[in-house]
Amino acid sequence: MNSTAAALPEALRGKRQLGDGEAFRFGCHPGVPCFNRCCADVNIMLTPLDVLRLARRLGLSTGEFLARHTLAPITKDLHLPVVMLRMGDDEARRCPFVGERGCTVYDDRPWACRMYPLGMALPPARAGADPEPVWVLFEDEFCHGREEASEWTVARWRADQKVEEREELETGFRDIVAHPWFIGGRQLDPKRIELFHTACYDLDAFRRFVLESSFLRRFEVEEGLVHELESSDEALLRFAFRWLRFALFAEPTLKVREPHSAPRRTP
């Protein structure tokens, strides 16, 4: 096994890796015999943007969505908490958002659902090198989509599934998960793990932390940005990643206020 393959999560080992420009065949539509088959009894990890978009789609706060629709598995192999979509309680363990005609939250479906049959892993961080994503192809026996005539590359599939429109925010999250701070197996303490979980996944709680605590009295925030943090979920998520780089890794992404310096807020 080569070093790249050995570094992949266990679920991705042994899968066919796709290089730049390498093609694969796939199609998914109601006419495929296995339509909706992949929407049951599956482990779907949610990104922060997945949680945010699904919560807003369902008219829930992020805290309510996390409580109703997610699980937070804990294993010794994880150095950061992950959030997984909770499957249904029926025997088939169907996704709660799949209906007879397919996905009922299709425009806001999770990253993993958009990318199937592709999977991605980031190799462990190395000093002085940004980890390059490794793309693999799932070739599940039940899936007849791989018998369709449509041919894709990773780049074309990502564009077709509108993944690139989400890339800035998804990359901000991946840069934290694959941060060089973790080189050598370093672990966060429980307090910083809780900070990570709140800032990444429970964005409504993070907004309260920023706007209703002493946060703005302790940190300098650019003029006009506070109003964006009040009104824009995506601006808040970007700020959450910026805050985490300060809070977890001591990067100078925020500046502590001088004593008696008053915050500026836009009316």
Alpha-carbon distance of 256 to 258, in angstroms, equals 7
Mean pLDDT by runs of 10 across the 267 residues of the chain is 50 76 92 90 94 98 98 72 93 91 94 93 68 86 92 94 90 90 86 94 98 95 93 97 96 88 53
Instruction: Please give the structure tokens belonging to residue 61.
Output: 């706060």
pLDDT of residue 108: 96
Q: Which residues contact 159 (CB under 8 A, 6 or more apart)?
A: none
pLDDT of residue 231: 95
pLDDT of residue 61: 98
pLDDT of residue 260: 59
Q: Are 55 and 62 in contact (CB under 8 A)?
A: yes
Place of tokens 């799949």: 98
Alpha-carbon distance of 69 to 88, in angstroms, equals 9
pLDDT of residue 58: 97
Where are the chain's structural domains? 3-180, 188-256
pLDDT of residue 259: 74
Alpha-carbon distance of 242 to 244, in angstroms, equals 5
